[in-house]
Amino acid sequence: MRGRGIQEGLRSELLEVVGSLKGYLLEAVDTGGKAQRFSTERRTTADAPGEGESSGEVASRVEQLAALEEELRSCRRCPLWTTRRTVVFGEGNPDARLMFVGEGPGEEEDRQGRPFVGRAGQLLTRIINAMGLSRDDVYIANIVKCRPPGNRVPNPEEKDACTPFLCRQVEIIKPRVICALGSVAAHFFLKTEAAVSVLRGRFHSYGSIDLMVTYHPAYLLRNPNAKKQVWEDVQEITKRLKQ
Ligand code: SF4
Supply the pLDDT for residue 58: 81
Helices of type H across 99-155: 107-112, 119-130
With a Cβ cut-off of 6 Å, ligand 1 is lined by: 72, 75-78, 80-81, 87, 144-146, 158, 161-162
Work out which ligand 1 atom sits closest to the CA atom of 144: 1
Work out which ligand 1 atom sits closest to the CA atom of 158: 4
- CA–CA separation, 219 and 65 (whole Å): 30
Query: pTM above the 0.85 mark?
Result: no
Looking at the chain, the whole-number percentage of residues with pLDDT higher than 70 is 78
Supply the pLDDT for residue 85: 97
On the question of pLDDT at 89 being above 50, the answer is yes
- What is the architecture of the domain spanning 2-39+54-242? 3-Layer(aba) Sandwich (3.40)
Measured in Å, residue 158 CA sits from the centre of ligand 1 at: 7
Measured in Å, residue 185 CA sits from the centre of ligand 1 at: 16
Helices of type H across 87-226: 107-112, 119-130, 156-173, 183-190, 196-199, 217-222
Rg of the Cα trace of the chain? 18
Work out which ligand 1 atom sits closest to the CA atom of 104: 1
Report DSSP letters for 64-81, one per residue.
HHHHHHHHHHT--SSGGG
Given pLDDT bands bounded at 50, 70 and 90, which one contains residue 1? Answer: very low
Judge whether 200 and 214 are in contact, CB under 8 Å: yes
